[in-house]
Amino acid sequence: MTMPLGSLFWRIFSIGWLVMVAAFACAGFYVHIIGFHPPEPPHWLFLIPVLSGATVGLPVAFALAWHISKPVRHLSQALRDAAQARFDVRVLPALGSRRDEFAHLAKEFDDMAMRLQQAAMQQRQLFHDVSHELRSPLTRIQAAIGLMQQDPQSAAAMIERVAREAERLDRLIEELLTLHKLEVGAMNPARERIDVVELLADVVQDAAFEAQARECAVTLDAPNGFMADVVGEPLYRAFENIVRNAVKYTAPHTTVEVRARTLETGGRAGWLEISVGDRGPGVPAESCEEIFEPFRRLEPQQRNTTMRSVPGTGLGLAIARRALTLHGGDVCAIPREGGGLLVIARLPNQVTANQQPLR
């Protein structure tokens, strides 16, 4: 698409051209006032500097105006494309080998467009996943109602199935609301100073009780305490989701090991690092980031194992990451030596401006 020359181009062109003309005119005027007179000058000789300036200044002014206004026109067109949700537009390639401020601005725009493109793709994927996750229990509820109508004697079993699917729907909607609040920053009430190790111990105690049903154990190795300014509810949910996820996937008769240690910054304990290791099927190293995205649940065939599919919504670790990000921390996962998965969460004792998680 050819973009028309705007008013900026013509202003720069006019100013540049007039400057060149004025420079030559001033040169001619200077020659005149110092008394230099060529032999038998014609009356129009004084016009030669002006005409020379106008002739030489025309291409120079045009080139200067084009050089300055070209990136502005590309940026303007790119902004119009972005306003119409065409986030695949890029400006920097169109500027060639420029290394000036316009190139820096174009790079900033391209980075913004890339992030918007990724966000739009994630949003579309999230809508698709949400519709799929909601449709599945609704379909089973409809099937159960149809079976009840055909065979009233199966009403008791079908009612139990409907109740189970309704409970799953309620849990899914609750987790979606929690995720949404964390995404938009709505879950950010006043912080209170609490002992994070004590909070983690409560989570481990509850998880250990649930693990008994699978003949598993959950152990905790942590320092005596770690005081931090936190929002209790989302942080509790984060720890709970990480530990319970490990309990769900660890093999029977194994132990989920929860360890915590303090990391010193500036000579004092500024961070708490919590690692949760299981002995489950694990996750390939290239897929470890995916499990923190909403609804990213790796099925047994993706885990290269014959383990059964584990029920869940695929939102637990996504909520955990966003809750820790709310507190200036972060969480990651790596394959565990000897089999299984190791999830590592880091939390600062105090969130400050421009807080950066440790790596």
225-278 tens-digit pLDDT: 898 888 888 888 889 889 998 998 899 999 999 999 988 765 455 789 999 999
Question: Residue 9: how many CA atoms within 13 Å on its side-chain side?
Answer: 13
- pLDDT score at 128: 63
The rounded distance, in Å, linking the Cα atoms of 154 and 289 is 44
pTM of the model: 0.58
Q: Which residues pair with 335 in a beta bridge?
A: 341
- pLDDT score at 56: 61
The rounded distance, in Å, linking the Cα atoms of 214 and 288 is 25
Closest C-alpha to 182, from 324, 292, 288: 324
Of residues 300 and 56, more confidently modeled: 56
Whole-number average pLDDT of the chain: 76
The rounded distance, in Å, linking the Cα atoms of 291 and 298 is 8
Catalytic residue among 132, 180, 253, 327: 132
Burial of 329 (0-12, 13-18, 19+ CB in 10 A): buried
- Pairing outcome for strands 330-335 and 268-277: unpaired
pLDDT tens for 316-359 read 888 888 888 888 889 999 999 888 999 999 998 876 544 444 44
The rounded distance, in Å, linking the Cα atoms of 87 and 109 is 10
Across the range 118-147, mean pLDDT stands at 74
- State yes or no: is 104 an active-site residue: no
